Structure 1
Amino acid sequence: MKKVGISSNNLLHPNAHFGTNYVDYIQKNYIDGIIDASALPMVFPIGSPSLAKEYINSVDALILAGGQDVSPEYFGEDPHVNLHETDQDRDAFEVALVLEAIQQDKPILGICRGLQIINVALGGTLYQDLNSQYQNLVVKHNQYPTKWYIPTHRLILKRESWLSNLFDKEALVNSFHHQAVKKLANGLQIDAVSSDNVVEAFSDEIRHIYAVQWHPEMLLMKNPDAQKLFNLFVEKI
């Protein structure tokens, strides 16, 4: 059985259930998507970037999940006034995982923040806040309070790619983000955009990199077809 590493998130603030007993975690839907694709999920707790080599050694592929904003220090900008919470430890750890997975020639799937951290790790940049920085914004890219499993905006395929057999020419996806790709890193190719031309998916078949801006793991709650994306990724291992 193929083993898929998935980088975790962590609680950064006290809460009513855990208090200050901080935990690393990953949402169950990611785990379900991996298991239902006949692969074994291996959750990586956030740690030192020096551990990336051993973590990637232990798996056949890597998934990077959603979460906090990516710090603009990685693309040479000061924090924008509308930047949300960042996590320096997570950023550094996941950048190291991306670079090590490429070094070991192991496939990577990025989801939401995962797409963004891949782009930044490879030298790209981000809009820190679409609402105030993206001039052509006409689509609601954070659909809250609409439920996470409901697709809300169009996905426009830009070329023949790994997504071509998964989606119609203009499918619907869900959307929970306010950061997005600004400058695409060298070697990546845009596979899909929203109707206002925000990057929704990219890939690099040579380095086995695949990434989407929406949340297929959330769509799994009510849309069984969302499993096809996880299936396809595992088939590429």
Structure 2
Amino acid sequence: MKKIGIPSNNLVHANAHFGTNYVDYIQKNYIDGISGANALPIVFPIGDIKLAKAYIDSVDALLLAGGQDVSPVYFGEDPHINLHETDARRDAFEVALVIEALKQEKPILGICRGLQIINVTLGGTLYQDLGSQYDGLSVKHNQYPTKWHVPTHHIVLQRQSWLSDIFDEKSLVNSFHHQAVKRLADGLKLDAMSSDNVVEAFSDESRRIYAVQWHPEMLLMDNPDAQLLFDSFVAKIE
């Protein structure tokens, strides 16, 4: 059984349920997607970047999940006035994991924030806030309060890619983000865009890098076909 490493998120603020008993966690939906593809999910608690090699040694592939904004430090900018919360420890840990996974030639899947982390690790840049920085915006890219599992906007496939056997040329997906790819890192190929030309997916078959801006793990709650994306990724693992 193939093992997929999933770095965790963490609660860093006191809250009504846990108080100051801070916890690392990953949403159950990611676990369901990997398990549904007959692979074994292994959750990595956020840790020292020196642990990246040991973590990647222990798995066959890496999945990067959604979460906080990516710090603009990684693409040479100061924080925009509309930047949301960032997590320096999580950013550094995930960047180190991407670098190590590439060094070990192990496949990587990025979802939402995960797509953005891959792009900046490889030298790309982000819009820190689509609403105030992207002139062509005409689609609501954060569908809240609409439920997670409801598809709300279209993606348009840009070429034959790993997504071509899963999606029609124009398909509906869900959307929960306000950051997005601005400049795609060298070597990454554009696979899908929204109807207002925001990057929605990219890949690099030579390095087995795959990433989507939407949340297929949430679509799984109401659409069994969303499993096909996880199946396709696990099939890329040697």
Range into which the TM-score falls when normalised by the shorter chain: over 0.9
Query: For 1:25-55, what per-residue CA distance to the aligned partner results, in whole angstroms no more than 9, with x for missing partners?
Result: 0000000110110000000000011100000
Q: CA deviation at 1:155?
A: 0.8
Gaps of 5+ in 1: none
> Equivalents in 2 of 1:147, 1:41: separation in Å?
25
Query: Would you identify which runs of 4 or more consecutive aligned residues in structure 1 move more than 6 Å?
Result: none
Query: For 1:102-134, what per-residue CA distance to the aligned partner results, in whole angstroms no more than 9, with x for missing partners?
Result: 000000000000000000000000000000000
Equivalence for 1:151: 151
> Equivalents in 1 of 2:188, 2:121: separation in Å?
12
Equivalence for 2:230: 230
> Equivalents in 2 of 1:106, 1:21: separation in Å?
34
Give the letter aligned to residue 11 of structure 1: L
Give the letter aligned to residue 32 of structure 1: D
Query: For 1:29-88, what per-residue CA distance to the aligned partner results, in whole angstroms no more than 9, with x for missing partners?
Result: 000110110000000000011100000000000000000000000100000000000000
1:26 and 2:48 correspond: no
- Aligned with 1:6: secondary structure? strand
Equivalence for 1:162: 162
Equivalence for 1:126: 126
Q: Describe how 1:82-97 pairs up with structure 2 within 5 A.
A: 82-97=82-97
Q: CA deviation at 1:142?
A: 0.2
Q: CA deviation at 1:209?
A: 0.2
> Equivalents in 2 of 1:220, 1:170: separation in Å?
19
* Percent identical: 78
> Equivalents in 2 of 1:108, 1:57: separation in Å?
14
Q: CA deviation at 1:12?
A: 1.0
RMSD of aligned alpha carbons: 0.3
> Equivalents in 2 of 1:99, 1:84: separation in Å?
25
Q: Describe how 1:177-196 pairs up with structure 2 within 5 A.
A: 177-196=177-196
Q: In the comparison of the two structures, how many residue pairs are matched?
A: 237
Q: Describe how 1:184-223 pairs up with structure 2 within 5 A.
A: 184-223=184-223
Q: Describe how 1:36-55 pairs up with structure 2 within 5 A.
A: 36-55=36-55
> Equivalents in 2 of 1:190, 1:19: separation in Å?
43
> Equivalents in 2 of 1:6, 1:234: separation in Å?
13
Give the letter aligned to residue 115 of structure 1: L
Give the letter aligned to residue 54 of structure 1: A
Equivalence for 1:136: 136
Give the letter aligned to residue 146 of structure 1: T
> Equivalents in 2 of 1:145, 1:3: separation in Å?
34
Q: CA deviation at 1:173?
A: 0.2
- Aligned with 1:217: secondary structure? helix
1:63 and 2:72 correspond: no
Give the letter aligned to residue 232 of structure 1: S
Give the letter aligned to residue 89 of structure 1: R
> Equivalents in 2 of 1:182, 1:130: separation in Å?
10
